[in-house]
Amino acid sequence: MSDINPKHYEFKLGGKIHQVADLMEARFATDVHLGQALKYMMRAGRKSNASYLSDVGKCIWWCAKAVMYHGGKHIELPPNCPVGTPKPRKKKPSS
């Protein structure tokens, strides 16, 4: 464990220890929004100074941001969501 690779970002799969960043790069290299959502989902309840609800709220926030970025409808999150509502910003069309 180090400051860059803390335990709350580790997970065990097939007997091997992996970092969430490895999964983010392998699966969401072109979608930062879902990669961030995964990060908060994987650490929820595992980081000592971050509440479970805060991390789940951040996961939902990043998922909503992904939906809007990829052309979906603006999503209003519940008023008690710990991170507020994301601002709409659509993906730039490919040239």
pLDDT tens-digit map of 1-58: 556 667 787 878 788 888 888 888 888 888 889 999 999 998 899 888 889 988 998 9
Question: Tens digits of per-residue pLDDT, 29-39?
Answer: 888 899 999 99
Give me the helix-helix angle, 52-69 and 32-43, nearest 10°: 170
Domain boundaries, the chain: 7-69
pLDDT band, residue 91 (cuts 50/70/90): low
Per-residue model confidence (pLDDT) at position 37:
93
For the CA atoms of 9, 67, 53, 82, the dihedral, rounded to the nearest 10 degrees, stands at: 120
